[in-house]
Amino acid sequence: MGVQPPMPPAGPGNPGGRGKGWLWALGGAVVASAVWAGVVFSTGGFGSNEKKADLGTYQYAGNLCSSSDLTPIENASFKEKESTSGTNPQHSSSEDPAMDSMTCNVDYEPSSSSSSDYSSAWLYTTAYLHRKTDPTPEFKATYMSYKNQKTSTTHYKVSEVSGVGDEAYVVAQEYESTSNTSAYVILGVRDGWMTYQTTWSQYASSSSDNPVKSNAEITEMLKASAKGTLEKLQK
């Protein structure tokens, strides 16, 4: 192998002996990078895999209680419990670029309840507009996980519900004993990237003239309320 010729001495126009060849190489790299960046930005390479939120016509509501259809609750012989502080129902909401959240909580009592009849019910509702992340992959798992929650006296039954949203599930607490004085039922609905959950909790004393509703009755009540509410949220 022949002897390599010595590198030209460093000097003006030839830093480190690399000369114009080095400058041309650097210039070529800059041009190539600029071209690559232009292609990426013009084709949406950065964030191109980000899905657009599938919210349809759902809109944020500053007061979810006002946008809730509570008629099915009233038709089931319940009325809003009077509050001396005027805090029933209660609502809160928050807008965020990632997710809008809305809540509504209502305290109820049987329409025919007397002062000596201790019987109460609560309706807790939440609605979320997911603007950045698709809730679909985790939605079903959220409710199916209740199947693993058991105690010596209670367990949960999870059922799929049709006729509301893209998918919906009911979680109903069941008791090992046939006699019980409480009920707890959750209805979760996903419609695109909107998720909605309403929870009914009820208690009645053993001597009450207004026994708790069955899980089937509560499910139909919550389903009817959910359908009406989701229609109101689609402006």
Q: Which residues of the chain have pLDDT under 50?
A: 1-48
- Tally of domains within the chain: 1
Between the alpha carbon of residue 10 and those of residues 16, 23, 116, the distances in Å are 5, 14, 102
10 part of a folded domain: no
Between the alpha carbon of residue 158 and those of residues 52, 106, 143, 155, 172, the distances in Å are 31, 24, 7, 10, 7
Separation CA 94–CA 67 (nearest Å) = 15
- The SS3 assignment for 43 reads helix
CB 119 within 8 A of CB 204: yes
pTM (global) more than 0.85: no
72 part of a folded domain: yes
Domain region containing 220: 65-233
37 part of a folded domain: no
Cis omega (within 30 of 0) on the bond before 89?
A: yes
The model's pLDDT over 183-221, given as tens digits with 9 standing for 90+, comes to: 999 999 999 999 999 999 998 876 666 778 899 999 999
- Tokens 């309706």 belong to 123
Residue 136: closest CA among 188, 85, 96, 86: 188
31 part of a folded domain: no
Q: For the domain that residue 89 is a member of, what is the CATH number?
A: 3.40.1000
Supply the pLDDT for residue 114. 62
Q: What are phi and psi of 155, to 5 degrees?
A: -155, 175
Supply the pLDDT for residue 140. 97
Separation CA 131–CA 101 (nearest Å) = 11
8 part of a folded domain: no
35 part of a folded domain: no
171 part of a folded domain: yes
21 part of a folded domain: no
